[in-house]
Every structure is written in structure tokens, then in C-alpha cells.
Chain A
Amino acid sequence: MDLNRLVSYSLRIGVFAAALLSMVGLFVWAAGGFNNVVTVMGSEIAGTLASAVRGNASGIIYLAIAILIATPVFRVAVSSLYFAHEGDRKYVLISLAVLSMLIFALVSGYAG
């Protein structure tokens, strides 16, 4: 498989899953009578994500958001594996540089 297809599929699967889950979440919200939903922060997010399994509308949408945010990061990781497989050292370095900066930003919270 060439890089273009690999990247394209990674992105497509991520967006499709996120959009589908968002839709399911909104339907569950509608079925529940449009109850007000609040945002959660920090460590509470893990619990809300887990509630998606029980069919909690907010949990399902948070799961969609998490998948969406992971999509571009996943795309960079997939690219670096591809370049490594192709033996293209320059681009392995470039994609790993981007990936490590991204991971630093995700972990440290320094990302605007």
C-alpha cells in the first residue's frame, strides 16, 4: 500500500468513527428528552468516557471527540512507520520529530 492511501484511510476511519459516534450520541440525547449536558474536565473525562459503554449520551460524544483528536496524531505515527519500512531515513527523522513534539504538547499541555 502506498503512503497516500495509508494516510487517507487512517484519516477517513478516524473522522467517520467520530461523526458516527457523534450522531449516535445526539440520538441518545434526543431519546432521553434533550436533558442538559455539562462539560467535564481533567480526570473526570476518563469516567465519562467509560460511561459510553452504558449508553450515556455525553460519554458517547466524548468518545467521538477523543477519537477525532487522536486521528491526526495516529496519521503522523503511521507515516513514520511507513518511512521506516521504506528505509527513507530523512523522512523517518522528520515524522518522528513532529510526533515527539506532538506527544510533548499532549503530555505537557503546552499547545496553545
Chain B
Amino acid sequence: MRVPATVVLGPIDVLIIFLVSIVAGFVGALFGLGGGVLIIPFLTLVEGVPVPLAVGASIVSVVATSSASAATYVQDHLTNLRLGMFLEIGTVAGAITGAFVSVFLPASALFILFGIILLYATMVMIRARGVDFPANVRPDKTSRILALGSQYEDQSLNRVVKYEVTRTPLTVFIGYFAGIVSGLLGVGGGIINVPTMNLVSKVPVKVASATSNFMIGVTAAASASVYLLRGDVHPLLAAPLIIGVAGGALLGTRVLKVTPPTRVKVAFGILLAAISLLMILKGFNLPVVL
């Protein structure tokens, strides 16, 4: 039997982890990500936590970020519940596939592939930052049958934005691969789901972020249970993270609501560029913590 990794943590460590996790929860809630991209490097590089424990703690905090921010976004009708639930079929199936194929499939190819796709998405997103609500979006058949089109009240623009969802099958298909990537690599599917919903299906960026936050909770919960049973979830890492990201996420949801979509897109684009570069580097087996 495998012996769980251990780490000794004192009150100062717990306090620092709590403070950093506020930032992670904030960023995660704002951009529809789990925040694992911040937490894993911090725990391993700064706190000297062994990688399995860092990933285990991070995945638990993704569940907290997702649930805390989704609670607010869902109440404000920013989340597209129907779209989220439909896309979950793809992401959850992908996460299970990812766990199955991780034995045979080299993750490096997927990393490079997604890194390149996301770099391309970055360019498109920043270049088209001004048009978040394109006119004449025609819902595809799936979208019409499932009534995926919706509306939300944009507080930064002071108006109700109606939108349609298009090219749904392609978004589900990409979501499936996003699920595989998250199953294989422990990075949340959020970084892939947000640009896909926004650029492929023409969902407004804030709705894409809120819906992604809603979706990543279920995949992360499934993964978290595995890490928990393996003995990779350390209570002294999990406790400050849960409290911190939940608080940070509540701040993030307030900021997203009042920020203009253009700015959200540019900020997301910059973050996306950084993460896709990290993914590509990691694909070439360069020492990158992700």
C-alpha cells in the first residue's frame, strides 16, 4: 500500500495559505476557473508541500470556489443553468475518460495541443473584445430543442442582454476533451470552457465565466473524492483553503457583476495567454508547475 505524503504545518503556514487562497478564490470566481493554477505552484514552491498533497488540496478548493461563486451567480441569473447542465454531460464524461486513458495516453501531446488552441483563442478573444453580444446569432437545432438561449442583466451596461447559443454540439465535443484534460492533468476545465462558450457558442463572456464556475464543481467533486480516499487531502491545507477561497470568491462575484465585458475579456485573455504558454512548456516536459 502506498504511504501518503506528509507535511508538517504550523500556525504561520496556515495563516499564509489562508491569505493566498483569498486571492485564488477571487481570481477563480472572476474568470470561471478553479484557481488551482495559483494554488498548486504556491503550495509546492513556497510552502514546500509535496505535489500530491498540493493537488489534493487544490482540487478541494476548486469545489469551494465553484460552489461559493455559483451560489451568487445562479441567484443573479448570470449562470445559464440549462447550458451548464447540458455541457456537464461532456465534461464529466471526459473526466472519467481521462482517468481511464491516463495509463496509456501521453499527456504531453494533449498539453501542447490545448496550449496552441488556447493561444489562438487568446488572440481571437482580445481582438474581438468589443463585440461581446454579436447580432444575428442563430441558435442551432440542439440549442432550440433544449431552449438554451437566455438573458441576463448586465450591471456595468445597465441593461438586460438577450443572447442565443449556437454551435452547441461543437462546444459539447470540446467540453468532452476539456474534461479529459482536467481528468489527466488536474487543471480545471474552466480555462478551456470559458473561451469555448464565448468564442464558439457566442455566449457573453460574463455568462460563460459564471456558467463555467457552476460546471467545474461537479468534475472537481468527483476528482476530490478520489484524492480524499487516497489520503492526499491534508486537513491543515484544506481548512484554510476552504475558508479563504470561499471569502475570495464572494469578492470576485461582486467585481465581475460591475465590470464591463470588454475588460473581462482582455483580463481573461492575458491570463489565458500565460496559462497556455505554461501548458505548452509542460507538454515539452520542461520543468513547469501547473
Question: B-contacting residues of A (Cβ < 8 Å)?
Answer: 3-5, 7-9, 11-12, 14-15, 18-19, 22-23, 25-26, 29-30, 34, 36-42, 45, 57-58, 61-62, 64-66, 68-73, 75-76, 79, 90-91, 94-95, 97-98, 101-102, 104-106, 109-112
Contacts and interface: CB of A to CB of B under 8 A. Distances in A.
B60 A68 contact: yes
B162 interface: no
Contacts of A37: 9, 234-236
Given A15-B68, A112-B98, 13 more contacts: A4-B75, A9-B71, A19-B243, A30-B11, A37-B9, A39-B234, A39-B235, A45-B229, A65-B235, A71-B67, A76-B85, A90-B145, A112-B102
Contacts of B233: 39, 65
Contacts of B222: 102, 105-106, 111-112
A71 B98 CA distance: 23
A26 to B, nearest CB: 5
B202 to A, nearest CB: 21
B223 A112 contact: yes
Interface string B245-288: 01100000000000000000000000000000000000000000
B164 interface: no
B67 A94 contact: no
The DSSP consensus for interface residues of chain B is: helix
Interface in B217-237: 217-226, 228-236
A6 to B, nearest CB: 9
A95 B71 contact: no
The DSSP consensus for interface residues of chain A is: helix
B239 A22 contact: yes
Interface string B64-93: 101110111011010101100110110011
A12 B67 CA distance: 7
Contacts of B135: none
B239 A4 contact: no
Given A15-B64, A94-B89, A41 B229 contact: yes
B238 interface: yes
Contacts of A73: 218, 221
B60 to A, nearest CB: 6
Contacts, number: 195
Contacts of A110: 96, 99-100
A30 B229 CA distance: 26
Contacts of B160: none
Task: Give the bracket for the number of chain B residues in contact with chain A.
Answer: 35 or more
A105 B236 CA distance: 26
Contacts of B225: 69, 105-106, 109, 111
Given A25-B235, A62-B235, A101-B96, A72 B242 contact: no
B204 interface: no
Contact of B221 (A26, A29, A71): A71
A110 B203 CA distance: 31
A3 B81 contact: yes
A71 B231 CA distance: 20
Nearest to B3: A41
Nearest to A100: B92
Interface stretch (B114-122, B126-134, B179-187): B179-187
